[in-house]
Chains A and B, each alone.
Chain A
């Protein structure tokens, strides 16, 4: 699987779920397209607007991206902003699961936050574990994801995976 897109933002380390989508909105709305308008609102007022102008935005972040609550609304609103994948130095555990479960590819790549800049064009090869920076010609390698999680990505998330497999029993 290959993803080609433009870096929309480089967020700092420990960007948390309250910053991604504030608790004051999430209880009211089950329509993620409506909720997406508030994504990153408290730390970046123009994120949603900018995401509408870019073809396939790629989000870059420092370590521990998505720390905090278990709210799945966090990866869902990012997906609803049309973000094609997130590349971070590392992810918080629950956010990492949630991302794969809802079909949002997450890539862990050490040092990425200091190597790419907002506006860079990137080509991500998930199978090969390589990110090509078209803007400056650099290449970055990343550890490919565990086989089981690759299956989740290929299926488009946990629910489509379970539907195809007929439950968890096939795995055990």
Chain B
């Protein structure tokens, strides 16, 4: 499917391994990568973007700003955004990827973000890939970039998931199997009846984590569900179906049978350290985090709220929740979900990356966190003397109640 998109976009018949110059439909960067991109643009003596409608800036990683220095960096971004009249999203609007999903992502688009998790947008059938600030700067000027056409890795997921087993458990299991560099430079394409039954939100979680196996992008078919999803944001006209050709070639094929899959966990300090939750059951935790570009959407918050409803979190454990966007926070308020969280003892933060990058919420020395985010690298949550476990929203919510890593199938 990646090859199909790039062929269509460059109007040439290409194959894996070719280097092509491709037009970019949307380029975006956040407060961790845009300031450096603006600085790198200076090398070409310009601050002017190619098309303000195709450029987006977001303050989400260290937002709302916790320090003078970061406030100055945000001010630099705002000035650039005003000068160029680009799309700009403020602290509290949400995480870059969620805003792109709601407002821009659509099948067949090429989306490049100054963030490694730009592969998220493949859940809507877009070719999304992350790049560094120099690449972002060059795209902001020219509207094009060079791409090596990736080979495809077919991941066929089959079977019915058990109750309280989420798409997060599926992707953790896959990464554990193929390891952190198992799909390097490849397009990881998620197919099979399990994926077809999944909601767009569940697919977003899987594509989001494709990078954790080294992938250039993650992709799902653009089907009727994508159409309905786009219509719900008033963008139904941007729908165009996408599916692999019958004779598509793959570097490798991997079949995952999920009927017996248990809730999974990634233990410190690597995402491919994956084991069933049951192996770590009883591990005491200091902080539980629900949110991020991986699991901060309505489906995730609903799963957590259903488990937390009428319950209180453990006395010695904190629960921190960051909805992924302003729209999600508003919807969660309407559904009474935020009230459930607050009554359970959780702290709810402004939509954004929050705890995930440790810049506005940080762990203490020796503390253990259980989070729905995508990375558990040493130091990721602001402290290299802390430990991070990754899990689904169901496991996170069940564990917040007990204060220990808990299997959501047993406790609820």
Contacts and interface: CB of A to CB of B under 8 A. Distances in A.
Interface string B293-311: 0000000000000000000
Interface stretch (A14-22, A115-123, A134-142): A14-22
A145 B73 CA distance: 36
Interface residues of A, number: 47
Given A71-B32, A148-B19, A27 B70 contact: yes
A94 B137 CA distance: 15
A171 B181 contact: no
A149 to B, nearest CB: 9
Interface in A26-69: 26-30, 41-43, 63-64, 67-69
Interface centre among A17, A69, A160, A163 (most CB of B within 10 A): A69
A130 interface: no
Contact of B214 (A23, A92, A146): A92
Task: Give the size range of B's interface with the partner.
Answer: 35 or more
A162 B67 CA distance: 36
A30 B39 contact: yes
Nearest to A171: B21
A24 B382 CA distance: 6
B164 interface: no
A133 interface: no
Interface centre among B113, B270, B380 (most CB of A within 10 A): B380
B156 interface: no
B235 interface: no
B132 A98 contact: yes
A73 B379 contact: no
Contacts, number: 147
A42 B134 contact: no
B180 interface: yes
Interface in A86-120: 90, 92-94, 97-98, 101-102
A78 interface: no
A44 B322 CA distance: 33
Contact of A67 (B32, B118, B180, B384): B180
B185 A24 contact: no
Contacts of A42: 378-379, 384
Given A27-B32, A28-B73, A93 B184 contact: yes
Interface string B101-141: 00000000000011110100000000000111111011001
A158 interface: yes
Interface string B247-262: 0000000000000000
A68 to B, nearest CB: 6
Given A24-B382, A71-B132, A168-B144, A18 B181 contact: no
B40 interface: yes
B16 interface: no
B62 interface: yes
Contact of B31 (A27, A94, A97, A162): A27
A128 interface: no
Contacts of A160: 43
B5 interface: no
Nearest to B353: A23
A15 B146 CA distance: 26
A168 B145 contact: yes
A19 B395 CA distance: 28
Contact of A23 (B130, B134, B358): B358
A70 interface: yes
Given A14-B181, A159-B44, A171 B146 contact: yes
B353 to A, nearest CB: 10
B362 A24 contact: yes
Contact of A64 (B142, B214, B378): B214
Contact of A101 (B10, B39, B132): B132
A14 B180 contact: yes
Nearest to A146: B19
Contacts of A102: 132, 134
B116 A94 contact: yes
Contact of A69 (B69, B115, B359, B384): B115
B348 interface: no
B121 to A, nearest CB: 14
Interface string B178-189: 001100110000
B168 to A, nearest CB: 19
Contacts of A97: 131-132, 135
Nearest to A98: B132
A148 B148 CA distance: 11
Given A26-B32, A70-B131, A90-B181, A18 B377 contact: yes
B203 interface: no
Q: Lowest 7 CB-CB distances: which A-B pairs, in order? A: A72-B132, A159-B43, A42-B384, A98-B132, A64-B181, A101-B134, A172-B21
Given A19-B379, A23-B359, A42-B384, 7 more contacts: A18-B379, A22-B384, A27-B31, A69-B115, A70-B114, A72-B36, A162-B138
Interface of A: 14, 16-19, 22-24, 26-30, 41-43, 63-64, 67-73, 75, 90, 92-94, 97-98, 101-102, 146, 148, 157-160, 162-163, 167-169, 171-172
